[in-house]
Amino acid sequence: MKNLSALVFTLAVLLALCSLSSATGFGLGSKTNKKKDEGGPIRKIAEKRAEAVDVFANQRMKEGRSKSQARPNTRESSRDQTKDRLPAYEGYEQRIAREARELEHTNRVNTANQLYKFDRLRAEYEEGQRQDKEQEEQLEQKRYSSSKLVNEVKVNKHSVKNSLK
């Protein structure tokens, strides 16, 4: 009985080690020549932020600042930052002004589009009105010509009757 319980315990420990090693990628059953994951979304975001900071530092180095002055101090308040910064570093007032300009441009574009649509609809309506008026004039012309023809037939009928008498 002791051997059976020791065997079960040993198998449980080996199973736990195998599952742990496969989860971590090390130990029994791991494939070391397989390419590991490049990192999750947090690491990718951190890399993009680092690239943006590098771009900012390169821009400041081109302006003639030393390497120690090139990197932005992230602990500075927004009032202490320089005015020649990327949009990510711009102040509250500048961001609001930029968004207001963009909104104004969007409103102008939307207004122009609405006016264009309105003009197009008005032109279609006027064209439809003109076509309706032309059709009505044609119908009126046909009525007039048919009534004139009926009157001529009546006159001819009376003249034929009178000539036969």
pLDDT (tens digit per residue) in 70-97: 555 555 545 445 544 555 555 778 888 8
**CB-based contact 57:70 (threshold 8 Å):** yes
> What does the alpha-carbon distance between residue 138 and residue 131 come to, in Å, rounded to a whole number?
11
Confidence of residue 125 (pLDDT cuts 50, 70, 90): very high
Which residues in 141-152 are b (16+ Cβ under 10 Å) and which e?
eeeeeeeeeeee
> What does the alpha-carbon distance between residue 7 and residue 13 come to, in Å, rounded to a whole number?
10
Q: Is 61 exposed, middle or buried (0-12, 13-18, 19+ CB in 10 A)?
A: middle
Q: What is the pLDDT of residue 136?
A: 94
Q: To the nearest whole percent, how much of the chain has pLDDT over 90?
A: 15
Q: Rounded to an integer, what is the distance from CA 151 to the centroid of its chain?
A: 70
Q: What is the pLDDT of residue 77?
A: 47
Report the mean per-residue pLDDT for the chain.
Answer: 74
Q: To the nearest whole percent, how much of the chain has pLDDT over 70?
A: 69
Report how far apart, in Å, the C-alpha atoms of 36 and of each of 20, 24, 40, 47 are. 17, 11, 11, 17
- Whether 29 has a pLDDT exceeding 80, the answer reads no
Encode 107-165 in three state secondary structure. Answer: HHHHHHHHHHHHHHHHHHHHHHHHHHHHHHHHHHHHHHHHHHHHHHHHHHHHHHHHHHC
Confidence of residue 3 (pLDDT cuts 50, 70, 90): confident
Of the two residues 81 and 6, the one the predictor is more confident about is 6
Of the two residues 33 and 148, the one the predictor is more confident about is 148
Q: Is 37 exposed, middle or buried (0-12, 13-18, 19+ CB in 10 A)?
A: exposed
**CB-based contact 7:1 (threshold 8 Å):** no
- Whether 164 has a pLDDT exceeding 60, the answer reads yes
Residue 38 in tokens: 């490049």
